Structure formats: C-alpha cells, structure tokens
Amino acid sequence: MAGLHLPMVGLTLCADDAVLGFFGAAFNLILAALPLAQGAGAALVPALNAPGARELLPRITGTAVRWAVASGLVAALLVGALAGPLVTQFYGPDYAPAAGPLRVLAWALPLMLMWEVVRAAALALRREAAAGRVAVRALLLEALAVATLAPALGATGAALSFVVLRLASVAGLSFLLVRSLSAGEARLSFGLPAGERT
C-alpha cells in the first residue's frame, strides 16, 4: 500500500519527538494487521481467476467485501474500546497518549481489508493501470490531508490522514470495479499468456 509512512513524514516536519513517538506506537499496532489484510486478498486470487470465475466474480467479491466490512468493523470497535490497555500493555504507561491516535487509526482496519478484496478483483479484471491511478490520486489526497491535519491536530491529524487515504483508495477502486463489471469489460486472464485468456 503506497503512502504508509506519509503521516510519519508529515509529523516529523511539524511535531516534536514525543508526538511522533505516540503516533508511531499507535501506527505500528495498526500496521501489525496489514499482513492479515494482504493474506485475505491473496486468498481470493485463485477463486477470482479460476475457469468460469467471470460470472461468479460479482458474487465472490460482494461476499468477500461483506466479510471484510464485518470483521474489520468488529476489529475497529475492539481496538477502539481497548486502545488504552493495548498501548500500555505493549509500550508501557508513558505511551498512554498514543491511545487517542490508535482509536482513530482503528477505523482504517475495515478499509485495509476492503482494499485488498477490491484490489484482488480489479487485478482479476486486468485493471492494474487503473488501480495504480486510483492509488496515486489517493496518495495525493493523503499528502494534502497530512499537510492540513498534522500541523493542526498533531498525532490525531496524522491518524485521520491515514484513514482518509484508505477511504479514498477503497472508494475509487470500488467505483472502478463496479463500472468495469457493468460495462462488461471483465477479462479474466490473470497470469496467463495472451493466447490463453478466458
């Protein structure tokens, strides 16, 4: 995922070391979930690229998105409710102020899961370039959010900018996916030579 460290860079330019440390502690707890999100997306690749998967792609993707939202929301609510104890358990009581940014960053969890699902579907539809353009636009939006929110709100502003990037990425790629499916542009050829496309 592009832009993972942009909030840290923004805080480095406008905040003191303590604020940067609190954000870093919260950020690292959220990034611990990234391999799980990526694994969920990777698990979809065989199903989305199997013979006859074109007809099932909307149903498989829809089901996977629903599961991503449900599990991500549960995780976000749990992390938000347990932010204080989580931070003190992993980093000690001196890092208690990191609980605030962690509560905001928790809302990135369902978006991280959704991103991996819609990205896997977009790749199955051979929309790599369009997915790249969505990621670049979202990254530009995050840079603007970091420049605006981090100086004004510190670690919480940096956390908000991270969530903004995830939201913009998921919304843009979901729009692309729906448009591709409704326009009949789907071509399942993930990893196959041009002559073997189905």
Q: Is residue 190 part of a domain?
A: no
Q: Is residue 33 part of a domain?
A: yes
Q: What mean pLDDT comes out for the span 34-46?
A: 84
Please state the φ and ψ torsions of residue 186, each to the nearest 5 degrees: -65, 130
Q: Is residue 39 part of a domain?
A: yes
Please state the φ and ψ torsions of residue 100, each to the nearest 5 degrees: -60, -55
Q: Is residue 78 part of a domain?
A: yes
Tally the domains of the chain.
Answer: 1
pLDDT band at residue 38 using 50, 70 and 90 as cut-offs: confident
Domain of 89, in residue numbers: 6-185
Q: What mean pLDDT comes out for the span 106-125?
A: 90
Q: What residues have CB less than 8 Å from 20, skipping those under 6 apart?
A: 8, 11, 12, 155
Q: Between 194 and 185, whose confidence is greater? A: 185
Residue 189, pLDDT score: 32
Q: Is residue 27 part of a domain?
A: yes
> Which burial class, exposed, middle or buried, applies to 129 when counting CB atoms under 10 A from its CB (0-12, 13-18, 19+)?
exposed
The pLDDT tens digits for 131-143 are 888 888 888 888 8
Q: Is residue 193 part of a domain?
A: no
Query: How many other CB atoms are found less than 10 A from the CB of residue 32?
Result: 10
pTM for the full predicted model: 0.83
Q: Is residue 22 part of a domain?
A: yes
Q: Is residue 192 part of a domain?
A: no
pLDDT band at residue 72 using 50, 70 and 90 as cut-offs: very high
